A and B are shown apart, each in its own frame.
Chain A
Amino acid sequence: MTLAEVVGSTAAIGYGLAAIGPGVGVGLVFAAYIQSTARQPEAARITQPFLWIGFAVVEVLALLGIVFGFVWANPAG
């Protein structure tokens, strides 16, 4: 006899776990940019391309979580 049972899609759980890392990562990227701009405001223009590149590269991992949730989903049911 089953004592407890969880039904539903594990893709949702998988995405929730996958969003932890990029969440911390994006926070780190923007924190570094804000701190560096606070220390040396004239460097803000120079580091801004790296801000956007860093954000996009970290964000893609969270988006892979969303997309693969659909790719690897269980067949309906």
Chain B
Amino acid sequence: MTGPTTVLAADVPFPPTVEDFYLPSIAPWGEHSYWFTKITLLLWVSIAILIIYFLVSYRKPQLVPSKKQWLAESLYGFVRNSIAVDMIGREGVRFAPYLTTLFSFILVMNLWGIVPLAQISPNSHIAFPIILALISYVLFIYVGFRKHGVRYLKVALVPPAPWFILPLLIPIEFFSNFIVRPFSLAIRLFANMFAGHMLLLVFTLGGFAMINSNVWLAPVSLLSWAMTIALTFLDAAIIVLQAYIFTVLTASYIQGSLVEGH
């Protein structure tokens, strides 16, 4: 722990560290065997929610939709129109199912960060954003190779520039297209969820730490908890934004692979 750890209180673990993200397992209870923790439970519940919701909404589809069907269709329509078709063009409709699944999965997983009993998002463990970024990475490279063949490398790596700058530009393009893209997709989602959870931890635990300390600091704990509530609203905006950004960037990378070569 860093310096001023034991200044305020002995009971409350303040300041929070990375260790607070390693939750104890649920079965067997309390140990740290890492097999079945709250994170695993939230992951399974997210998948169940998504599957059940979309199956039930489309159970008896009518031409004039009921309210539940309209809600599910709005979600799919938003991703298909504003993200897939806007970014990729007419061919975007092919990718709309994947992008909708991606968007709703990331949204539900992120939302656990502010839901009262769960309060941690599985996306604050780097593993889940890594897998999602890998799937998008393999997808846009596969789409590029399927459309252009081996000439996809020329399309992706050689920008329209004078020949004497190309030895400098091609390694930069390679690094930015094939190495930085999946890395930054994963890190962006992970860091937003990690930082959001850490902020809420700091202000919540800080409030408890201040109440347990001397009597002059106790009223300031109310300010700390008010800050927690304000940050929860900010976190809600960040959650939706990060789901949208991940999907929009995936669509943009797919569009970059589908562009006509020159």
- Contact partner, A67, options B2, B184, B191, B242, Cβ 8 Å: B191
Bound: A52/B187 CA distance, A? 17
CB pair A63 B192 closer than 8 Å: yes
- Contact partner, B190, options A8, A52, A67, A76, Cβ 8 Å: A67
Cβ–Cβ < 8 Å partners of B14 in chain A: none
- Contact partner, B3, options A8, A56, A57, Cβ 8 Å: A8
B148 interface hit (Cβ, 8 Å): no
B214 interface hit (Cβ, 8 Å): no
Cβ–Cβ < 8 Å partners of B249 in chain A: 53, 56
| Residue in B closest to A53 when the chains form the complex, CB atoms | B248
B18 interface hit (Cβ, 8 Å): yes
Bound: A11/B7 CA distance, A? 20
Cβ–Cβ < 8 Å partners of A63 in chain B: 187-188, 191-192, 194-195
> Total A-B pairs in contact (CB under 8 Å)?
52
Given A8-B2, A8-B3, A66-B198; A52-B191 close (CB under 8 Å): no
CB pair B1 A64 closer than 8 Å: no
Majority secondary structure, B binding face: helix
Majority secondary structure, A binding face: helix
A34 interface hit (Cβ, 8 Å): no
CB pair B241 A56 closer than 8 Å: yes
Cβ–Cβ < 8 Å partners of A76 in chain B: 1-2
| Residue in A closest to B241 when the chains form the complex, CB atoms | A52
A41 interface hit (Cβ, 8 Å): no
CB pair A7 B3 closer than 8 Å: yes
| Residue in A closest to B4 when the chains form the complex, CB atoms | A8
Cβ–Cβ < 8 Å partners of B188 in chain A: 56, 59-60, 63
Inter-chain pairs besides A60-B188, A63-B191, 16 sampled, C-beta below 8 Å: A9-B2, A9-B3, A49-B82, A52-B248, A53-B248, A56-B241, A59-B192, A60-B184, A60-B187, A63-B192, A66-B191, A66-B194, A67-B190, A67-B194, A67-B195, A70-B17
Q: Can you list 21 pairs linking A and B with CB atoms under 8 Å apart?
A: A8-B2, A8-B3, A9-B2, A9-B3, A52-B244, A53-B245, A53-B248, A53-B252, A55-B241, A56-B241, A57-B184, A60-B191, A63-B187, A63-B191, A63-B195, A66-B194, A67-B190, A67-B194, A70-B17, A70-B18, A76-B2
The interface of chain A, by Cβ under 8 A from chain B, is 7-9, 49, 52-53, 55-57, 59-60, 63-64, 66-67, 70, 76-77
4 residue pairs, one from A and one from B, having the closest CB atoms:
A63-B191, A56-B245, A60-B188, A67-B191
